[in-house]
Amino acid sequence: MSKLMDASRQVTVIADSLRRRFEDRIDVGDFTNPDPDERRRCLLSRALAAAITNSRTDCGDARAAATVTDGGQDFGIDAVAFTAGAPRLWLIQTKWNDRAAANFGELDVITMADGLRMIDRREFGRFNAKVQPLKTQITTIVDDPQARIMLTIGLMRQAPLHPNVLLRLSELRDEFNAHGHYLDFEVLYVRDIWEIIRKTAQPDPIKLDFEMDRWFELSTPMRAANGVTTAATVASWYEDNGDQLFRKNIRESLGVTQVNADIARSLAEEPYEFWYRNNGVTILCDSLELTPKSRSSPYGTAKIEATNISVVNGAQTVAAIAAAVQKGDDRVRGALVGIRVIASTDEATSAEITKATNTQNHIERRDFVALDEVQLAIREEFSLALGLTYTIRRSEFEPSPESGCTVREAAIALACAHADPRLAQRVRNNEDLLWEEGPEGAYVRIFGERPPAVQIWRSVQLLRRVRDSLHAMQPGLEGRAAAVAEQGSLIVAHIVFQDLGRDGIDDSDYNWEAVLDQVPLLVGKTVRWLVTQIDEQFGQSSFIGPTLASADRIRPLVRSVLTALETGTPAPDLRPDYVPVPRQRTTRRRNSVHILVDAARIKEGSRLSFRAVTEPERRALASWLSEDSRRGAATWVNSRSRPLVWAADGKRYTPSGLVMRMYALAEWNGAPVAVQGPRRWFLGSEGSLVSLARSVVREVEDSDEESVE
């Protein structure tokens, strides 16, 4: 059982996963009890039988659902599973219990024995209609002399069965096997069912077979091999497995960055010197076999077989090599790459090796959470319970808003949801503090008592709704009010979280949409109260940014706003000078890129995504962009001239220049002759380059006479 999840949490995740996978596939129309809870438990019991079927036969959820026979006249057989081409039969019975205390007694064994005997005597007419379509396959298997039948009992139960029940099962097995070994039984408890469910979210282990030259090996304290192989070999690993190669790494390939482009360029231009200029690749694996090809030249060439591998250092090298080999000639394919393979099944040791091998290069504090078992468990629960994506490494592409979130977005949302407003204030000042460890570190306070995936996801949804509401308010705000809405988004979110409370946030059946519908009105009240309280407590000439950044000021400020909201006092109207009025203004335009680079607003290497802003543009580019996900992605470089490295070709562009290049490659005949590129490149959910630049301007300048394009 996972040390990071107790049995009650496991039951909840299992239930959510089963409902997500099978609710639309399994019929409970024959279940006549009107009690909604009883119908839910019936569905879960049948879904559990289908999940066990899939785990034993790998037939897929749709076919597994069709094997469910639970209902009247099932004689203790809730599902029938079999494999194509092999005389194997599973007769499955399941019992669901929300408290992990399912009952299974001697009477249940007797009932199941009756069903087994009727199958043995071919008395299918006594079974319900769900069994009838399966009788041909069942008969074919039972008639085979090599037949093997397994009674599989899946119980949402922690405690072992009573010895008398196990004895009954053993006696049934022995009776049936009087003339040969045909029958056996297995009992699956919560811990076993949990492993069945979680395997659906885990990728298959990767095995590498390749040749290594100029090698040497170590046997203690761990088995390891060090040598060289060709760039073509390394490229084939990435072509076959993609970023799954890096699943134990602190970070995956960062896509096309300036560093990666330089690696690929070095390999393409001077392949014979590549080994001298590159640190190579470090691989962790569960087992390692090294076989010299020649006994007379033992250190010449050897065959390496490594199972369950992960590239823990050199992800950027592997991705860059794959890109260079795809475009290169035989010289590039034959370039030598340093390879180190270490066999270790100890998770702690593997984590230490991963950290040590990555500290040579630029690593952000956030990167190390990729090794945290808490984050891995959250990602697993997101997939199992919610069917959503939770990305941990900053190298991974951000999922679309409807399909999931990143650990960064989750951490910000949980910081805002925390009862202490100083967490939101600290994150606003320096996002890196999200990953600070230690007793008082934000990371421990946010993730120390691991929140359920549904709570994280709903916190993210609420934060997004707050930001959307603030964005919608912007045209109606001016001066200090506009500054509060822009610079105080996390403080506003914290107040909204506290006022709404936590009711239902971790209950998957709770109507969370109804909660989210309250957010726009509450955000409007919060902004008006926040602006008013800042003016009253600190004066109308106080600076907005420093006030929101002050730990001493933020607590009484938030407390006063929450008190006003709780008492139901109507929110005050904003001062006239906080509301825009039509007027002529002299504008002085500055370049968005220059503003962002000068303020170091975007971290080097951050991922940007392209979004069309007009309907003709969407129609013209949609098909072309969908053909290759790299076409809509770029990496930020802090350069005033060409800040975008396009993932599709590794070259650098201005935002507008890249958009025009995309128009040309997509062969859009109706493309405009000029375009505002910064409006089309977005930093995750934070906004476009233009909106980010506007925020910077508001923070650093008192004048509102400057606009940004």
Inside any domain, residue 1: no
On the question of pLDDT at 360 being above 50, the answer is: no
Question: 93: Cβ–Cβ under 8 A, 6 or more apart, which residues?
Answer: 49, 76, 77, 78, 108, 112, 151, 152, 153, 154
Does 377 map to a domain?
A: no
Q: Are residues 218 and 133 in the same domain?
A: no
Whether 414 and 548 share a structural domain = yes
Least confidently predicted of 108-117, 212-221, 259-268, 337-346: 259-268
What does the block give as tokens for 40? 């839910």
Predicted pLDDT at 395: 61
Under DSSP, the state recorded for 366 is G
pLDDT on residue 587? 52
Is residue 359 pLDDT above 70, yes or no?
A: no
Position 463 scores a pLDDT of 94
CB 401 within 8 A of CB 475: no
The Cα-based distances of 635 to 261, 272, 397, 430, 690 in angstroms read 11, 29, 11, 21, 16
For residue 207, the SS3 value is coil
Confidence of residue 702 (pLDDT cuts 50, 70, 90): very low
Q: 577-588: string of b/e by CB count within 10 Å (b at 16+)?
A: ebeeeeeeeeee
**What's the rounded Cα separation, in Å, for the pair 145 and 180?**
10
Q: What is the 3-state secondary structure (H, E, C) of 232-271?
A: HHHHHHHHHHHHHHHCCCCCCCCCCCHHHHHHHHHHHHCH
Rounded Cα–Cα distance for residues 350 and 249 (Å)? 10
- Contact call for residues 274 and 337 (beta carbons, < 8 A): yes
How large is the average pLDDT for residues 485-506? 90
Q: What is the DSSP letter of 383?
A: I
One domain for residues 190 and 230? no
Kindly state whether residues 521 and 624 are assigned to the same domain. no
Q: How far apart are CA 443 and CA 447, in angstroms?
A: 6
CA dist 519 → 35, 122, 523, 560 (Å): 34, 63, 6, 19
State the Cα–Cα distance between residues 666 and 660, nearest whole angstrom.
Answer: 10
Parallel, antiparallel, or unpaired: how do β-strands 301-307 and 287-292 relate?
Answer: antiparallel
Report residue 228: phi and psi, to 5°.
Answer: -130, 155
Q: Which residue has the higher pLDDT, 349 or 471?
A: 471
- Residue 700 located in a structural domain: yes
CA distance 313 to 253: 10
Q: Residue 2: what pLDDT?
A: 42
Cβ–Cβ under 8 Å, residues 115 and 57:
no
pTM: 0.64
The Cα–Cα gap between 462 and 522 comes to 12
Element (H, E) at 682: strand 681-682
Mean pLDDT across the chain? 86
Strand 706-708 relative to strand 588-590, pairing: parallel
Both 190 and 212 in one domain: the answer is: no
Angle between helices 373-381 and 453-473 (to 10 degrees): 80
Q: Are residues 343 and 420 in the same domain?
A: no
**Residue 12: partners with Cβ closer than 8 Å, 6 or more residues away:** 385, 452, 508
What percent of the residues of the chain are helix, what percent strand, and what percent coil, each to the nearest 5? 50, 15, 35
Number of residues in the chain? 709
Contact residues for 128 (Cβ-Cβ < 8 A; gap 6+): 69, 71, 72, 73, 74
Assess contact for 380 and 450: CB atoms under 8 A: no
Question: CATH number of the domain that 24 lies in?
Answer: 3.40.91.30
Pair (613, 601) in one structural domain: yes
Q: Is residue 234 part of a domain?
A: yes
Please give the Cα distance from 378 to 390 (Å, whole number).
8
Q: What is the pLDDT of residues 381-403, one digit of tens each?
A: 999 989 898 988 766 667 777 88
What is the mean pLDDT of the segment spanning 521-528?
Answer: 94
Bridging pattern class, strands 336-343 and 281-285: parallel
pLDDT band of 255, cuts 50, 70, 90: low
Per-residue pLDDT tens for 26-55?
A: 989 898 888 999 999 999 999 999 999 999
DSSP 8-state symbol, 101: B
Euclidean distance between CA atoms 530 and 622, whole angstroms? 42
Identify the top-confidence range among 232-241, 312-321, 339-348. Answer: 232-241
Task: Give the model's pLDDT for residue 703.
Answer: 38
Total domain count, the chain? 4
Residue 361's pLDDT is 45
Mind listing the pLDDT tens digit for each residue in 534-557?
Answer: 999 988 888 888 888 888 899 999
Query: Same structural domain for residues 66 and 188?
Result: yes
637: left (phi over 0), alpha (psi -120 to 50) or beta: beta
Q: Look at residues 334, 363, 392 and tell me which one is the last residue of a structural domain.
A: 363
Helix (H) and strand (E) counts in the chain: 28, 20
Closest CA to 354 of 370, 333, 374: 370
* Exposure string for 372-406, b = 16+ CB within 10 A, e = fewer: beebbbbbbbbbbbbebbbbbbbbbbbbeeeebbb
- pLDDT computed for residue 3 by the predictor: 42
Condensed to tens digits (0 to 9), the pLDDT of residues 575-633 reads 888 887 655 554 556 788 999 998 888 888 888 889 988 888 988 998 899 888 789 98
Longest dimension (CA), the chain: 99
In 3D space, the residue among 459, 580, 581, 473 whose CA is nearest the CA of residue 530 turns out to be: 473
When mean pLDDT is compared across 178-182, 292-296, 538-542, the lowest value belongs to: 292-296
Q: So what's the pLDDT on residue 432?
A: 79
Render pLDDT for 622-681 as a digit per residue (tens, 0 to 9): 889 988 878 998 989 888 888 999 988 888 899 999 999 999 999 998 888 888 999 999
Higher pLDDT, 125 or 296: 125
Per the structure, the complete domain to which residue 630 belongs is given by 588-708
Q: How do residues 194-230 score in pLDDT, each as one tens digit?
A: 999 988 766 778 899 999 998 888 888 888 999 999 9
Same domain, 601 and 561: no
Alpha helices in 242-396 (DSSP H): 258-269, 274-277, 315-327, 330-333, 347-358, 373-381
Whether 279 is in a domain gets the answer yes
pLDDT at 295 over 90: no
pLDDT tens figures, 61-81: 999 999 999 999 999 999 999
CB 87 within 8 A of CB 181: no
pLDDT of residue 582: 58
Domain assignment of residue 375, yes or no: no
Q: What is the predicted pLDDT for the residue at 366?
A: 65
Identify the three-state secondary structure at position 102: coil
Return the SS3 of 65: helix
DSSP state of 85: T
CB atoms within 10 A of CB 269: 12
Of 200, 219, 239, which residue constitutes the final position of a domain?
Answer: 200
Q: Which residue has the tokens 């975007």?
A: 602
Is residue 502 domain-resident? yes
In a domain, 370, yes or no: no
End position of a domain, from candidates 558, 578, 598: 578
Q: CA neighbours within 13 Å on the CB side: how many for 594?
A: 5
Residue 439 and residue 573 in one domain? yes
Residues 207 and 327 in one domain: yes
Same domain, 285 and 414: no
- For tokens 């690593």, what's the residue? 363
Find the radius of gyration of the CA atoms of the chain.
Answer: 31
* CB neighbourhood size of 347 (10 A): 11
